[in-house]
Structure 1
Amino acid sequence: MKKTILPILLCLLLAACSDNSSRTEETSTTTDTLVAQSAQTAPTDIPGAMKSSMDKMTSELKSYQPSGDPDHDFASIMRIHHQGAVEMMQAYLPGAKDEMLKTMTQNGISKQQSEIGELGTFLNGHQPGTQKSSYGKDAAQMVTDMMVMETTPQDLDKAFATMMAPHHESAVHISQMFLNHGKDEKLKAMAKKIASEQQKETDELKKWLQEHP
């Protein structure tokens, strides 16, 4: 009886080992597949993704219908402008190599997201006035004109600096323009802050580009 049971137990043990081995192989294969799929879906054209963010912003500004109220138009246009910058910086950051540009990007995302919130709060509680100012039309047109680019460098850091310099510069111009038209004191204070900060960063970006031909 014992002689009969022993071979049966041995067969069961071998079958269990074989099943565990198959499961291990299946798990390993599944893991390898997920890793491969992740690599395939990871962004490979970050400069292209940044350019797409800018194109999306300019498209929204081209279709923007000015209210004629400078306060309302500044808040609306700057919110679109900031959102384009945030999306571009978020696309750039994972592959950023230059430490100065990386720090500028990290700080920029934080500051501009905060200002997007402030602009949204203003717009939610503000009804456009009856003014017939051309500020909104002129500001939107200025940004779209300044963001026209025929080519984009494939080097990631150069692509970022090349696109962000005119983007910041356009923010400076439309903020300065707004100071001559706006009435809301909080918005005017924000415009002064944006003009000052982004002029400084524009100068830094242009200097960086000169040093990295």
Structure 2
Amino acid sequence: MRTFRKRTTRTLGLTGAVAAAALLLAACGNDDAMSGMDHGSTSSATAAAPSASGTFNDADVMFAQMMIPHHEQALEMAELADGRAEDADVKKIVAAIEKAQDPEILKMKAWLKGWGKPESAGMNHAMAGMMSDQDMKDLAAAKGKDFDRTFAELMIAHHEGAVEMAKAEQKDGGNAEAKALAGEVVTAQTAEIAELRKILDRL
């Protein structure tokens, strides 16, 4: 009986050790699986919101730093249309600017944060197409057709500056998503420039 008990105890002990080892391996496997899931989630998040994981260069950083305040001023100009604009086509362009550029600002800010770079390059007034304080005051003082005409003239110049910066990003940038956004800016704002010129022709 003693021998049986010893053997039983030893067998149970060995069985317990094997079971524990199996559980440990299973846990490790689960950890690896969870780790893989985490990596997958991170990759998905990275793809959804650009971060420092993507390659980028100084041109990408400059593009974002300059385009953010450029877009912000375009939104300020668009906001002035409320209660001042008269032309239906001007109002459509204003709505298109607000719909496109606010999300683009958020996207570029996310890039800069992920890249560990500041949002501003401190060269706002040196950027192509930026309005002066007097330009903004003149626009704010205008109403009706006068506003529509002034808005169209100023926004054409503003868009031309954005297109110039976007083309430079397409040429010199290294980040695929930044270059893709630059392409969208070129396409959308070139089309809006053409529409604004048509508006000017008939005002």
- Shorter-chain-normalised TM-score: which range? 0.5 to 0.7
Equivalenced residue count is 137
Superposition deviation, residue 115 in structure 1: 0.4
TM alignment of 1:24-173, pairs within 5 A = 69-127=58-116, 141=126, 143=128, 147=131, 154=142, 155-173=146-164
Separation in structure 2 between the aligned mates of residue 112 and residue 103 of structure 1, nearest angstrom? 14
Change (3 A) 1:74 1:140: farther
> Higher relative contact order at CA 8 Å, sep ≥6: structure 1 or structure 2?
2
Q: Match for 1:204: what amino acid?
A: E
Q: Match for 1:195: what amino acid?
A: V
Contact 2:71–2:105, Cα closer than 8 Å, also in 1: yes
Contact 2:69–2:124, Cα closer than 8 Å, also in 1: no
Aligned partner of 1:20 in structure 2 is none
- Percent identity, aligned pairs only? 30
What RMSD over aligned residues (CA atoms) do the two structures have, in Å? 2.7
TM, length-normalised to structure 2? 0.60
Aligned partner of 2:192 in structure 1 is 201
Residue by residue over 1:90-143, the C-alpha shift from the partner in whole angstroms, topping out at 9 and shown as x without a partner, is 112232211111011012112100101101111111135xxxxxxx89997451
Change (3 A) 1:78 1:190: same
Separation in structure 2 between the aligned mates of residue 69 and residue 173 of structure 1, nearest angstrom? 17
Q: Which has the larger radius of gyration?
A: 2
Separation in structure 1 between the aligned mates of residue 122 and residue 173 of structure 2, nearest angstrom? 14
- Poorly superposed stretches of 4+, deviation over 2 Å: 136-142, 146-154
Superposition deviation, residue 147 in structure 1: 4.6
- 5+ residue gaps, structure 2, are 1-56
Contact 1:161–1:205, Cα closer than 8 Å, also in 2: yes
- 5+ residue gaps, structure 1, are 1-67, 129-135
